[in-house]
Amino acid sequence: MGIRRDVADRLLRAASDAADPRDGVLSRADLRALGVGRDRVSSHVRAGRWRLHGRHTVALHTGELSPTAHAWRGVYESTGDARVDGVTSLKAAGVTGLTDTVVHISLHHLCQVRCIDGVVQHKVSRRLPDECALPGLPRTPPALAALRAAQWAVSDRQAALFLVLPVQQRITTAETLHVTHSQYAGRRRRALIAQLIDDIADGAHSLGELDLVPALRRRGLPTPTRQAIRRVDGRTRYLDVCWEDIGLALEIDGAAHSAGLEVTFDHFRQNAITLGGDIILRMNLIGLRLGREEFLDQVVRAHAELTAGRRG
């Protein structure tokens, strides 16, 4: 005997309501809990109303899955203690500017993994006490997601991007990154990630670590003046490094330079100094951390060209 029509309609409405916040997908277990068993799922699929997306994922429509639905599918298909993590979790938290389209899932290292199209599974040694506390989509909080994304990144530059963007976009803070990193250091890039977090958080102490003057001397350049003074619009301004004889200056921007309107004020200041005759090469601490030699190449080239121009 088939299920009564009114009961079938009620179950269908319940399933639709449950799937709505998940962009139209549910797991077979979710459907069973609602009273929709395997036979009823198969009936909807055969009728062309629903569509299967793996062993465990059922879409209550036949269209393409949205990014949110893909994330839920990654959790459903991975089973175990699966959580959306890394870049995918950052995107779910609202971080923009990330182009990775696969779904990153973390699993406890004792869980079994299998090949799932469009899903990358990462085993983690342990879970933090509060990393599964967010409502809705099972995902790690932004700070932990940023740390793991940096650990799983394909390059140091990509790792820096995953740490910088959520702080710049106010999804998390450098302080939260620091605390989370003290709780979960991970296995890859431990030292680099710690340095990057310090650069993002403050940067003042990092200038000593990244002192360019010895490196410039090794490149054959004369010793420059540190904290050279300029008068701009009646105010005293300081240049981090300057070769006074040729008017070449270097400015290294810490985290404070990206706060509020500081970028705007820095541009006004640099424009005024340039109009006064100095040429300024700028780099932030993150860029200096990741591309130190590339920046030094630019400095050496600028020094050579300005020196040649002065002689000419």
Q: Give the residue-averaged pLDDT of 185-197.
A: 89
Tokens of 220: 């054959």
**CB-count burial class (<10 Å; 0-12, 13-18, 19+) for 127:** middle
Report pTM: 0.73
141 in helix, strand or coil? coil
Q: What is the DSSP letter of 48?
A: T
Distance CA 206, CA 286 (A): 10
Residue after which a domain boundary falls, among 167, 185, 201: 201
* Residue 195 sits in the same domain as residue 88: yes
Tokens of 39: 């036979």
Tokens of 310: 């002065």
pLDDT digits (tens, 9 = 90+) for 281-311: 888 888 888 888 999 999 999 999 889 876 6
Asked if residues 140 and 148 have their Cβ atoms less than 8 Å apart, the reply is: yes
* Residue 164 sits in the same domain as residue 220: no
* Number of compact structural domains in the chain: 3
160 in helix, strand or coil? helix
* Residue 218 sits in the same domain as residue 285: yes
Nearest partner of 74 among 159, 139, 135, judged by Cα: 139
* Residue 291 sits in the same domain as residue 267: yes
Nearest partner of 61 among 24, 36, 29, judged by Cα: 24
pLDDT digits (tens, 9 = 90+) for 30-85: 999 999 999 999 999 999 999 999 999 999 999 999 999 999 999 999 988 999 99
* Residue 281 sits in the same domain as residue 164: no
CATH number of the structural domain spanning residue 265: 3.40.960
Distance CA 174, CA 156 (A): 18
* Residue 102 sits in the same domain as residue 216: no
The whole domain housing 171 covers 67-201
DSSP-assigned beta bridge partners for residue 116? none
